[in-house]
A = this chain, B = another copy of it.
């Protein structure tokens, strides 16, 4: 692979989010170990109106940038709403989820996660 590459995110495969209870939520892995990353990966998520990524937790932290839409961030103080241009930091093992059941817009965000050592 080239050491500097440019690609439109839509060229990455779109897959359903594999988490029990997830609904109308998809992920595209934009940069990962298959494309040269060694430490962390960049993913693109969409949650359609009515959709959900339920509350869950894991050892990997998240750094998130919201591209469009709005959703309730489960696990945050009083389930705050995140919207376009918001940055979200989720610390390791912190429960988090995204509820788009009450908006009419797709919630789209970039989410960066550490790559597991076994990857």
| Chain A residues within 8 Å of B, Cβ to Cβ | 2-10, 12, 30-31, 35-42, 44, 61, 63, 65, 67, 73, 75-77, 80, 82, 85-91, 94, 96, 110, 112, 114
Contact = CB atoms under 8 A, between A and B. Distances in A.
Given A37-B63, A61-B36, A4 B91 contact: yes
Given A73-B6, A91-B4, A94-B4, A63 B40 contact: yes
Nearest to A28: B87
Given A42-B65, A65-B110, A89 B9 contact: no
A76 to B, nearest CB: 5
A86 B7 contact: yes
Contacts of A42: 63, 65, 87, 112
